[in-house]
Amino acid sequence: MAGTVSAGGFVLSIDDLPPVQERFFNRELSWLAFNRRVLAEAVNADYPLLERLRFLSISGNNLDEFMMVRVAGIAGQVRRQIDELSIDGQTPTQQLGALLEAVKELVDAQQDVLFGLKDDLAKAGIRLIDNDALNKGEAEWLREYFEEHVVPVLTPQAIDPAHPFPFIANQGTGILFQLLRSADGSPVTEMILIPPALPRFVRLPGKSASWIGIEELVRRHATLLFPGFKILGDGTFRVLRDSDIELEEDAEDLVRYYRTAIQRRRRGKVILLHLQENFDADAEKLLRRQLRLDHALVIKSRGLLAISGLSTVIDEDRQDLKFDPYNPRYPERVLEHDGDCFSAIREKDLVIHHPYESFEVVIDFLRQAAADPDVVAIKQTLYRAGKQSAVIAALIAAAEAGKSVTAVVELKARFDEEQNLMWAAQLERAGVQVIYGFVDWKTHAKISLVVRREGGSYRTYCHFGTGNYHPITARIYTDLSFFTADPRMGRDAGQLFNFVTGYVEPKHTELLAISPINLREKLYECIDREITLAAKGRPATIWAKLNQLTDPDLIDRLYLASMAGVEIRLVVRGICCLKPGVPGLSETIEVKSIIGRFLEHSRIWAFGNGSRMPNKRARVFISSADGMSRNMGRRVEVLVPVKNPTVHDQILDQVMLANLLDTEQSWELGPDGEYERFEKGDPSFNLHGYFMTNPSLSGRGAALSSGRKVPKLALRRGAANRG
């Protein structure tokens, strides 16, 4: 928070706040706390067994990405002697030391969870083969499989002066063997790198499911690979490398730059060397020397490397060990209009709640636009579209039908760069005008704009989302899709597209706030209004639902609001650097995190506006932006006000309220940075279960008219506390 803030008679300087160490949690340690909450779901007895294994796999994949991007970035700062302090005032060296210890603890915890799950899985008829003995039939089948499907793609390589040390790709797994040549007794070191084309786990035939990791399969059959040698020992290792892509300021061609940068990613600096327990000391020295470890983490652990690979086992056909299948509902309002999306939107604005309501309606919106002879133009942002995208197909169909189609494809979407390059090429071949946006900023806003000829003029239909146009993640992420034909929204959306495609900065928008232009200022205006109301003795309330909250200036603004007496309730799924419940600083702020069957992803802001909520006067917004500095200043984002009374009430009184009331999947953040799981209470409330079993939001506001209702929330301190 720069300088001084004044609102409602309160004047606060940055000098009046405690030092950063006392008012902010460390960003990276907060992320690790989030991943520990994900891991905790792997031991949640309320979940089916394979779903618990899924959470373990997710925690492993999360940690891999964290190491490859965040930890790698901090290690790079240490190497380059950059002294930039973190939000809580730590140097890169201090952060790296704390992170390495915390990561080791998390890896050990993952292995502990895996060992417990293995026993439970075995009792349920699913065996993960480790050091298990095999019966004759299993041994024979595995030998045959190894000889036919594995040996042809393996390449043993001796490690000696005559053979250069092989390159180990990012996320590469290998095995080092210590051998004795039978002919003369001379020692030999051999390395086998596991080709990524091989399956992570191999399933043995039979009704009872037995799975063996590919590295264990290779180890068990090493004598077939090294005839004439005696095997003295072996050790499995895995390597993670720096995978962030830093855009150079003088990059003249973004497409060409990213094509080469994706290849360079494979050769980034090693950030993690993960070794199996009892890995040979001499072999470890060899790896350390050859990989040129520099501020990298070396971990030894029992059990399985690459825990993320357990996702293969989850595909096992055991529905009795998984969540009951869930089929999202198609929005009722669109069905009432015989599937005509435009007619339904013309009637009035509507909101769709994914994954409880089908993402198919978003695709149908674009398909209808592509086929409609009265549609003249479509403009679309694409951040992550998935591997099999019906959205891309609809845009191609529209272009081939003669529509003017513009697609803003974001090349800087981390780990989706290659996929987005492919989509961009396909779109361009079909005649779509493809724009890559800004060099320095990511275009993260989720907008579809359709211009349709109606009655001698043009009407603009808009879709604003809190999530990506990704049909797969839309089945497991909770997000909001907002459809409107409000001409003010259409004009603002048009300005946003002109900003991205032609750098024409909007001088004035009627409803939308856009980052990095005025989104931060709009949020500050809303927060300051609540401060003013509190100063006048009127009810003042802020509710927000975010994925992350890390921006120090935004957090300081919320601290100011709390000090003025504003009641603040935050639902922050992941990283939260704000310290709640600190006397004199954040006494009126409560923070919770929800981890459950679906990934909470929607972003919502609600400001009481002088009356106790739920109420008709609250100011409600949905957004593509999280509470992070990058979302406020280095990305193109949008903050959308909800003006329609029905949609307003649906988002506030149902979606937001249900998040605040959840007890079965919620964790409370304490002022010490520790998260404590909510007690379920009596009665308990399950956010996901409620929306899975109640009518859709888009059913003309009927979601509360029958079935299990969301209980009303009195706006008193601790109304949704644990228990």
| Catalytic residue IDs | 444
For the residues of 521-536, what is the DSSP string, one character each? HHHHHHHHHHHHHHHT
8 Å CB contact between 381 and 447: yes
- Helix (H), strand (E) at residue 318: none
In whole angstroms, what is the distance from residue 695 CA to residue 653 CA? 15
> Any residues with CB less than 8 A from the CB of 237 and at least 6 apart, and which?
173, 174, 175, 176, 273, 274, 275, 276, 279, 287, 305
Q: 509 to each of 458, 506, 639, how far by Cα in Å?
A: 20, 7, 11
Token digits for 252? 């003249």
How many helices (H) and strands (E) are present in the chain, helices listed first? Answer: 23, 29
Dist CA 217 CA 640 (whole Å)? 54
> Looking up tokens 């601290």, which residue turns up?
559
Beta strands in 573-665 (DSSP E): 589-594, 599-600, 603-607, 619-623, 635-641
CA distance 94 to 62: 23
> How far is 212 from 215, CA to CA, in rounded Å?
8
From CA 318, how far away is CA 328, in angstroms rounded?
22
Q: HEC string of 321-362?
A: HCCCCCCCECCHHHHHCCCCHHHHHHHCCEEEEECCECCHHH
DSSP 8-state assignment for residue 167: P
Of the candidates 468, 421, 412, 419, which has an alpha carbon nearest to the alpha carbon of residue 440?
412
Q: With contact defined as beta carbons under 8 Å apart, do 671 and 580 qualify?
A: yes
**Residue for token pair 């990511």:** 442
| CA–CA separation, 308 and 322 (whole Å) | 18
